Amino acid sequence: MAPVSRFIHLEYTSGIVLLISVVIAIVWANSGYHDFYEHLWHINFSIGFDDFMLTHPLHIWINDGLMAIFFFVIGLELKREFMEGELSSLKKASLPMSAALGGMVVPALIYFMINRGTEASHGWGIPMATDIAFALALLSMASKHVPVSVKVFLSALAVADDLGAVLVIAFFYTEDINFVALGVGVGFLLLLIAGNGLGIRNSMFYLILGFGVWSGFLLSGVHATIAGVLVAFTIPAVTKIDEVIYSNNLRKLSYDFETDIPEKGSLITPKQNKTIQKVKSLSMAAETPLQTIEHALHPWVAFGIMPLFALANAGIVIGSDFFSSVINPVSIGVAAGLIVGKFVGILLF
């Protein structure tokens, strides 16, 4: 199977897995094991050592921890598009950004108008965000029939929309921001930017300092998924050697390997083994850290993080008061904002 076909198939399959996880979550939450479902996501887990220990419920680790990795991978994809893809010019990039702005402003206005004069009007920020995990899952299921340009546009739109909503929550709904922790996170981010500028390509360097950025944002009270996107944009996206040099050297090494093929026996010679190691080193230099990390994380995100996120968040309890709660002004405002407001806002802007 060709790489592109395999990638499309992977995305399509991951979308199906995500939807299956949603169904399992809803059935589980409405079964006799409902109490276990609720209890499971509130079990506390701790990581760290001595004076630095992070303790949070499993639900927080998934939404603020694992989903930061999801946003990190999305950030890597967007950086690639900003550099040489569908978002490489200001004109191309401005379209999804302006559409995202409309997709936030109009839903908020619709919600506010429906709930104006009540205490619920303060919740105008609720319908601003698109659930990017589910949005991209639905998009991936139709990826065979969606042009690449449309897919990139919708991905950039969803990310900008979601991050914009996170920023609104951070500045308008977060009562206590720990600016010291936020400063620590920004400090680690600056170190990552400096490392990129100095030509550091070691993935472990970005992993360790990236964890520092995430920890700072998490402790600050600002949604930690923002850290995932910011760290992604610091990952080097240039090759260590030129493509022509790589091609010429690879051709020479291939010739050396061929001339050393033994007449008898199936084992390679020590000289051939040395040539193979040179090819590996050469290939690593020809691939960008951005591509290496993205390809390594993509299956884990697609088949691990996203289904787990769906399982932890899609468990809607359909009880006797479900339908009465659906028709109250808050629910109507959210639904109208997301369904009508998003569509109108994206088209108008």
Task: Give the pLDDT of residue 232.
Answer: 93
The H helix count followed by the E strand count for the chain is 17, 2
Task: Give the pLDDT of residue 1.
Answer: 47
Task: Give the pLDDT of residue 7.
Answer: 47
- Write the burial class of residue 221 (CB in 10 Å: 0-12 exposed, 13-18 middle, 19+ buried): middle
Task: Give the pLDDT of residue 212.
Answer: 94
Task: Give the pLDDT of residue 8.
Answer: 45
Where do the domains of the chain lie, and which CATH numbers do they carry?
3-238+288-348 (1.20.1530.10)
| Distant-in-sequence, close-in-space partners of 162: CB < 8 Å, separation ≥ 6 | 129, 130, 131, 132
Task: Give the pLDDT of residue 145.
Answer: 67
User: Rounded to the nearest 10 degrees, what angle do helices 203-220 and 289-300 cross at?
Assistant: 60
Tokens linked to 206: 């970005």
* DSSP symbol at 87: T
Cα–Cα dist 154/141, whole Å: 14
Task: Give the pLDDT of residue 28.
Answer: 93
Tally Cβ neighbours within 10 Å of residue 174: 13
Q: Helix, strand or coil for residue 50?
A: coil
Greatest extent of the chain over all pairs of C-alpha atoms, in Å = 88
Residue type, 210: G
Tally Cβ neighbours within 10 Å of residue 49: 7
Task: Give the pLDDT of residue 48.
Answer: 75
Task: Give the pLDDT of residue 334.
Answer: 81
pLDDT tens-place values along the chain, 349 residues long:
444 445 445 566 777 788 888 899 989 989 889 899 999 999 998 887 777 788 889 999 998 899 889 889 888 888 887 887 767 777 777 888 888 888 888 888 988 888 888 877 777 877 777 666 666 666 666 656 667 777 777 777 777 777 777 777 767 766 678 889 999 999 999 999 999 999 888 888 999 999 999 999 988 888 888 899 899 999 998 877 777 787 877 788 787 777 767 766 666 777 777 888 888 877 777 778 888 888 888 888 888 888 898 899 888 887 666 666 667 777 788 888 888 888 888 888 7
- Write the burial class of residue 10 (CB in 10 Å: 0-12 exposed, 13-18 middle, 19+ buried): middle
Task: Give the pLDDT of residue 155.
Answer: 74
**pTM of this prediction?**
0.78
User: Rounded to the nearest 10 degrees, what angle do helices 3-29 and 306-313 cross at?
Assistant: 20
